[in-house]
């Protein structure tokens, strides 16, 4: 099985009304933990990596590691570039072996978002690389300005998908990147309205910290790709703190870190309904 198309993976999830976990990773502890969780859950998996990770773990090297792990497993894996800002970043990722990309031009005005997304689709489409784009703006981690947040306008969604030719649409429905300071207010009404307007699979960014019952409702209403990053970091930090307090040695710190990521990932796969769907 190994590497599969994000498009096929998400279409199956869309039909089956479950979500596939997109786990953003940039080190080997996170990667091994996520891969172990996949084996345990027998779930489809999206291994994601974004340009902000470059200073920690350069893409040209890390992409090889992702592919090496993905190619050896018997379960479906897509290797996805998260939040590319430019066509150049997309090209580098495709050359490095990513099998799908997200172009995030959502901070730009509507027409510019369409133009930039179209450019990426024009490059990716002949190569068979599925493209995800965002309408409305979820905002960057640590973005404290609520005015920068833009809810997805359902009346533009159909046109956006049609004019760009994208394969998956990320929505801004009250979700946010990073840590939620208060309980998020997810606009299920907007999600349902967007779902009526477009046929492509829908993506939820910033799913770390959204309550389980809200995540379940999102998958029922048509979200089929769910992005998790912050909770992997939190589970790792909890584990590292416990080890420091216990005076553990480095190998134990490493093993417990992997274990913590594995457990959190498995929990999410179960929550998304993707357990046993590989
Ligand atoms: Zn995101």
Q: Is the dihedral of CA 87, 93, 99, 104 positive or negative?
A: negative
Query: What pLDDT, on the 0 to 100 scale, is given for residue 273?
Result: 98
Taking 90 as the threshold, does the pLDDT of residue 209 lie above it?
yes
State the Cα–Cα distance between residues 221 and 57, nearest whole angstrom: 36
What is the percentage of the chain residues whose pLDDT exceeds 90?
94
- 134 alpha carbon to ligand 1 midpoint, in Å? 9
**Number of domains the chain contains:** 1
Q: SS3 helix, strand, coil % of the chain, rounded to 5?
A: 50, 15, 35
82 is catalytic: yes
Query: What pLDDT, on the 0 to 100 scale, is given for residue 149?
Result: 82
Low-confidence winner among 38-42, 148-152, 184-188 (lowest mean pLDDT): 148-152
Strand (E) or helix (H) holding 11: helix 6-16
Q: Please indicate, yes or no, if residue 94 is contained in any of the structural domains.
A: yes
Q: Please indicate, yes or no, if residue 277 is contained in any of the structural domains.
A: no
Q: How far is CA 72 from CA 3, 23, 35, 43, 134, in A?
A: 9, 18, 11, 15, 32
Q: Please indicate, yes or no, if residue 96 is contained in any of the structural domains.
A: yes
- 137 alpha carbon to ligand 1 midpoint, in Å? 10
Catalytic residue, from 82, 104, 167, 243: name it.
82
Q: Please indicate, yes or no, if residue 211 is contained in any of the structural domains.
A: yes
Query: What pLDDT, on the 0 to 100 scale, is given for residue 2?
Result: 87
> Which residues have CB less than 5 Å away from ligand 1 (the ion)?
205
Taking 90 as the threshold, does the pLDDT of residue 106 lie above it?
yes
- 252 alpha carbon to ligand 1 midpoint, in Å? 31
Q: Please indicate, yes or no, if residue 186 is contained in any of the structural domains.
A: yes
CATH code (residue 261): 3.20.20.70
Domain that holds residue 213: 6-272
Q: pLDDT tens for residues 217-258?
A: 999 999 999 999 999 999 999 999 999 999 999 999 999 999
- 244 alpha carbon to ligand 1 midpoint, in Å? 31
CB atoms within 10 A of CB 5: 16
- 206 alpha carbon to ligand 1 midpoint, in Å? 6
Query: What pLDDT, on the 0 to 100 scale, is given for residue 219?
Result: 97
Closest CA to 19 of 244, 276, 256, 220: 220
Q: pLDDT tens for residues 114-160?
A: 999 999 999 999 999 999 999 999 976 655 566 678 999 999 999 99
Q: How many helices (H) and strands (E) does the chain have?
A: 10, 8
In terms of Cβ atoms closer than 10 Å to its own Cβ (0-12, 13-18, 19+), residue 247 is: exposed
Q: Please indicate, yes or no, if residue 278 is contained in any of the structural domains.
A: no
Q: Please indicate, yes or no, if residue 199 is contained in any of the structural domains.
A: yes
């Amino acid at each position: 099985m190994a590497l599969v198309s994000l498009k096929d993976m998400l279409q199956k999830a869309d039909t089956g009304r479950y979500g596939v976990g997109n786990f953003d990773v940039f080190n080997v502890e996170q990667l091994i933990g996520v891969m172990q969780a996949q084996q345990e859950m027998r779930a489809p998996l999206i291994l994601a990596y974004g340009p902000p990770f470059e200073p920690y773990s350069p893409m040209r090297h890390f992409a090889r590691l992702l592919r090496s792990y993905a190619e050896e497993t018997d379960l479906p894996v897509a290797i996805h570039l998260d939040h590319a800002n430019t066509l150049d970043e997309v090209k580098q990722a495709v050359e490095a072996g990513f099998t799908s990309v997200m172009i995030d031009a959502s901070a730009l005005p509507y027409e510019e978002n369409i133009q930039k997304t179209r450019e990426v689709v024009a490059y990716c489409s002949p190569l068979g690389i599925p493209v995800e784009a965002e309408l409305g703006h979820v905002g960057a981690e640590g973005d404290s300005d609520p005015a920068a947040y833009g809810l997805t306008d359902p009346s533009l969604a159909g046109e956006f998908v049609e004019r760009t030719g994208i394969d998956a649409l990320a929505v801004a429905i009250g979700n946010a990147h990073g840590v939620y300071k208060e309980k998020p207010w997810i606009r299920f009404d907007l999600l349902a309205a967007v779902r009526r307007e477009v046929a492509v699979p829908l993506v939820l960014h910033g799913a770390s910290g959204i309550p389980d019952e809200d995540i379940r409702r999102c998958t029922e209403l048509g979200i089929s790709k769910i992005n998790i990053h912050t909770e992997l970091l939190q589970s790792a930090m909890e584990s590292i703190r416990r080890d420091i307090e216990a005076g553990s040695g480095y190998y134990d710190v490493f093993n417990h870190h992997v274990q913590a990521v594995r457990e959190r990932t498995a929990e999410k796969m179960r929550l998304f309904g993707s357990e046993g769907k590989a």
